[in-house]
Chain A
Amino acid sequence: MTRTEFWQGNTACAEGALAAGCNFFGGYPITPSTEVAEFMAAKLPKKGGVFIQMEDEIASMASIIGASWAGSRAMTATSGPGFSLMMENIGFAAMTETPCVVVNVQRGGPSTGQPTMSAQGDMMQVRFGSHGDYAIIALCPASVQEMYELTAKAFNLADKYRVPVFLMADETVGHMREKIIIPDTVERVSRKPFVPGTPPFRATDPDLVPGFPQFGTGQHVHVTGLTHDERGYPAATNPGLHMALVKRLVDKIENARYEMADYDIINPGAEQVFVAYGGPVRTVQQVLHDRPNNDVGFLRIRTVWPFPEKALAEFRNARRFLVPEMNLGQIAREIERHVKVPVKSIPKLGGELHTPAELVEALEAKQ
C-alpha cells in the first residue's frame, strides 16, 4: 500500500536514499542541505548503516568513494561552498568509475553568497567543475515527490554506469513542504557483476561500463586516479591510452543520454516553449495553468546532464525557447548550442523564484 505524507524536500531526499538501500552517508553540515545529514544521522545507525560526519567536504567525498569500493551504496549532501571542495574527489570518482550519489541543495553564490536562499548557480560546475574531461549524470527535482524519486533513481544510475550521480536540487525544493506519495517499493539496479580473472577496467560490453570488482572479494584490484590501463595499473605517459580511457569515461555517459533521459513534453505544437528544471518548473506550471488554451509549450527536464537535446526537436513549430533559471543563463547556453531559433534566457538571482507575472512578461515581450 502506498502512503501519503507531508514532508520537507530534504526529508524526502533522505527517505528516498534509504528506500534505495543507501547504507553509508559521509557528510559535513551546510545550509541549506543539513536536514539530509541530520536525517541520515538519526536513521542510518538503526538500519545497520553508517553515518559519519567528516572534517570537511573534501573528506566527505573521499569517504563515500572509499565506502563505495567496500560495497556500500554511499551518499553525501552539500551546497555551494562544500560542492566546490568536493570537486577534487569528484574527478577521482569519475576517473576511477566509482558509483556514488552527491546531493547539492543549491544556494546563492559565488563564495558564501546566500546560505539560506535558493539558486541554480552550480549547473555548469556540476558538469565541468573538476579538472580534465569527464562526464557525469545530474538530476533536477522540482517537487518533494521528485526529491524522493530522483534520489532513489540516482543510486541506480550511479551503479549502472559506475559514475558519480548528482541530485541538483535547490533551496526552494529542498525546504518546501508538500504532499508526497510513498511507493511500496523502489526499483533497485545492481552493479554489473565482475568476471573474476578479467582485467578490472576492461569494458567489453557496448555500454562501455566494466563490471565492479568490490573490495574484499579477492579481485586484488588496484584503483588509482592516475591514467591507468585495463588492469588498473598506472600508464600516465601513454598518450593513446589516455585518450581511449577519457573518451570511454565520457562516451559511456553521453552515449546513454537517451536511455536515461527523463523529461516531459507539454504542448509540442506551440510556438513559444519554456524549458525549465528544478524550482522554476513550478512557476512555469503556474503560467501554463493560468493559460488554458494550450498555446505555450513546456519542456521540463529532470536529467539535465547529459543534456537530452533531442527533446528540443520535438517542438516542431518552436519559434523561441524561453529558459527561466535561478542563474545567469547556464543551461540556456547549452540549449543555444542545439537549436536554430532564438533562446531567451530569463535569469533570476537573489534567492527567490520567478513570479508567474515575470514569465508572462517575458512570454509576451517581442525580444
Chain B
Amino acid sequence: MSYEDWFRQDRLPHIYCAGCGNGTIINCTLAAVDSMGWTKEETVFVSGIGCSSRAPGYILTDSLHTTHGRALAFATGVKMANPDLHVVVFTGDGDLAAIGGNHFIHACRRNIDLTVVCMNNQIYGMTGGQGSPTTPKGCLSSTTPYGCAEIPFDLCQLATAAGANYVARWTSYHVKELEKAVKVGLETPGFSFIEALVQCPTAFGRRNKFRLVADHVEYLKVHSLLRAKRDRMLENGEHIPEDMFVVGELTRRNRPAMGVKP
C-alpha cells in the first residue's frame, strides 16, 4: 500500500485552501502509518475541531471527529477500551493548546499510548484568522489587530514537561524528517507528540507579509534550528535569536505508559 490508499476517495475534493500546509502533514502521517504495516481495520483517527481536525474525515478507517479541544479525551476512551487499536490524533494549535490544554497535559501525564500530530498554523484558520496560544508575539490576526501581545506556548516543552514519551517538532518544509518522526512516534509506546508548523496563507500569511505560500514555507525553513545545532550554540554560549524555533527529536524516553497493546 501507499499513503494514497488510506484516503476516502469519495470525500474529495477536500476543504483545505490552496497553499494550505495541512495536506503535507496528512500525507507524511499516512506514509508513516502505512510503513508500520497496520491495517485500516485496526487503526483509528481521532480529532477535535478546526482545519487540522477535518483530516480524519478524509481517511478510510474508523474515525472520530469530536468536539473542540476534546480529541485526546475521546481518544483516551477508545484506546483504553480497546488497546489493540492504533489511535492517531490530528489536532491544531487552538484545539490542543487553548480549549484542549487541560486534556493535553493530562494525556501527556498519563503517557497514554497515542500518537498526536499537531498542525500548528499559529492561527485559528477555520473561523477566519483569530490569534491562538501559539501566535508569535507581534503577529497580526483578526483579534490581535495591533500585534499579538501575549507570549506563545512552546507545545513541545509543554509535552515534555507533562510527561510524553516522545516529542518532536518539524515543519511542512521538512517532509522526510516529519515522516520519520511520526513513524518513531507510532513505534514508541506511550504518548508521542509531533508538532508540525504549517503555513496558512489564507488566515496567517496574508496578514503577516507572506505574499506567497513559498515565502512562508521559506520562513519556516530558515527559522528552524536543528536541535544539535541549538545544543552546540548553548554550549558555546552563543545567543539564539528569539524568532528561531528548535526542530528535531526533542524527547525520547521510556516512562511507564497506559493503554499499550498487550
A349 at the interface (CB under 8 A from B): no
CB-based contact A55/B106 at 8 Å:
yes
**Residues of A with C-beta under 8 A to B84:** 216
With contact pairs A220-B60, A225-B67 given, residues A64 and B42 touching in the complex (Cβ less than 8 Å) = no
**Residues of B with C-beta under 8 A to A55:** 73, 102-103, 106
With contact pairs A58-B70, A216-B84 given, residues A66 and B77 touching in the complex (Cβ less than 8 Å) = yes
CB-based contact A67/B81 at 8 Å:
yes
Specify which of B70, B80, B82, B106 is in contact with A216 (CB 8 Å cutoff): B82
Q: Which residue of A lies closest to B45 (CB)?
A: A222
Contact residues, A322-342 vs B (CB, 8 A): none
Chain A min CB distance to B243 (Å): 34
A219 at the interface (CB under 8 A from B): yes
Interface size counted on chain B using CB atoms at 8 A: 34
Interface centre among A58, A70, A92 (most CB of B within 10 A): A70
Q: Which residue of B lies closest to A66 (CB)?
A: B77
CB-based contact B80/A62 at 8 Å:
no
CB-based contact A223/B80 at 8 Å:
no
With contact pairs A55-B106, A56-B102 given, residues A70 and B63 touching in the complex (Cβ less than 8 Å) = no
Q: How far is the CA of A12 from the CA of B61 in the complex (A)?
A: 39
Quick one: CB contact mask for B26-46 with A, threshold 8 Å, 1 for yes? Answer: 000000000000001110101
Interface centre among A69, A217, A233 (most CB of B within 10 A): A69
Quick one: CB contact mask for B204-248 with A, threshold 8 Å, 1 for yes? Answer: 000000000000000000000000000000000000000000000
Contact residues, A200-224 vs B (CB, 8 A): 213, 215-224
**Residues of B with C-beta under 8 A to A14:** none
Chain B min CB distance to A87 (Å): 11
Q: Which residue of B lies closest to A63 (CB)?
A: B77
Question: Which residues of A are at the interface with B, using a C-beta cutoff of 8 A?
Answer: 23-24, 26, 50, 52, 54-56, 58-60, 62-72, 74, 88-89, 92, 213, 215-226, 231, 233-234
Question: Which residues of B are at the interface with A, using a C-beta cutoff of 8 A?
Answer: 8, 10-11, 40-42, 44, 46, 56-57, 60-67, 70, 73-82, 84-85, 102-103, 106
8 shortest interchain CB distances as A-B pairs: A66-B77, A62-B73, A63-B77, A59-B73, A67-B81, A70-B81, A224-B65, A66-B78
